[in-house]
């Protein structure tokens, strides 16, 4: 198994989530006017390290801002801590906020990737993790809906946001999730060891011939 590094990061986008969703610090859902796109665009320009990163981050941010500013979405801050899955293993598939979408509370995960984004199996895994950490762990959030926001192919300067919910999804039980996480960590350990061997081989001239 080989792992590759993407040519850009969506960290600039992630740094703007509070502005995009106009998150308020209080307990009640905010009713303030949406953050103007120009404010978010300026922040992305400051944080993006390359033109390709700027283009990709702006397309997703624009689509997400359209979605958030539609009048259907309000948000407030709420910190959901990572879900512990064994010694040294913590998983997070949610934002530190609660969104009221069409007047229904949602905990959400934003998936901006295209080529390596979550497929149906990946979304089932993510929804299952969200359920265990948010609904099963705290009865105050037992009725919260779970959502994953994905994005369409580029259309001009944006990628339209689309909300997927956990309705009808057969969630994995916790013991099954723990096994899946352990397996994933083992695969990544093998990837890192392979990279280290390749680096040592290049340094000593004893690397693979092909």
- DSSP-assigned letters across all residues of 27-59: SSPP-SPPPPHHHHHHHHHHH--SHHHHHHHHH
Sign of CA dihedral 197, 203, 207, 210: positive
DSSP secondary structure letter of residue 141: G
CA distance 202 to 131: 45
CA 22 centroid distance within chain: 18
C-alpha to C-alpha distance for 179 and 193, rounded to whole angstroms: 21
pTM listed for this prediction? 0.82
List strand residue ranges (DSSP E) for 70-153, in order.
73-77, 83-84, 90-91, 97-101, 104-110, 145-151
Report the DSSP beta bridge partners of residue 105: 100
pLDDT (tens, 9 = 90+) of the chain, 210 residues, equals 444 566 889 999 999 999 999 887 765 665 667 889 999 999 999 999 999 999 999 999 999 999 998 877 888 889 988 888 765 677 788 999 999 998 899 999 999 998 888 999 999 999 999 999 999 999 999 999 999 999 999 999 999 999 999 999 999 999 999 898 888 777 767 766 776 777 776 665 554 444
């Amino acid at each position: 198994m080989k792992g590759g590094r993407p040519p850009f990061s969506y960290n600039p986008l992630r740094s703007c989530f509070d502005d995009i969703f106009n998150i308020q610090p209080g307990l009640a859902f905010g009713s303030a006017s949406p953050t103007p796109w120009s404010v978010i665009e300026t922040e992305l320009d400051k944080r993006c390290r390359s033109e390709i990163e700027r283009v990709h981050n702006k397309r997703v941010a624009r689509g997400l801002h359209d979605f958030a500013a539609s009048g259907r979405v309000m948000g407030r801050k709420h910190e959901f801590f990572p879900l512990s899955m064994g010694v040294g293993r913590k998983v997070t598939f949610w934002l530190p906020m609660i969104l009221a979408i069409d007047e229904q509370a949602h905990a959400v995960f934003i998936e901006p990737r295209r080529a390596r984004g979550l497929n149906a199996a990946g979304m089932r895994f993510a929804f299952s993790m969200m359920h265990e950490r948010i609904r099963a762990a705290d009865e105050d959030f037992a009725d919260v809906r779970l959502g994953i926001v994905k994005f369409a192919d580029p259309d001009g300067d944006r990628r339209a946001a689309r909300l997927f919910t956990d309705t009808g999804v057969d969630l994995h039980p916790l013991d099954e999730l723990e096994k899946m996480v352990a397996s994933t960590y083992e695969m990544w350990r093998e990837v890192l060891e392979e990279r280290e061997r390749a680096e040592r081989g290049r340094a000593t001239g004893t690397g693979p011939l092909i």
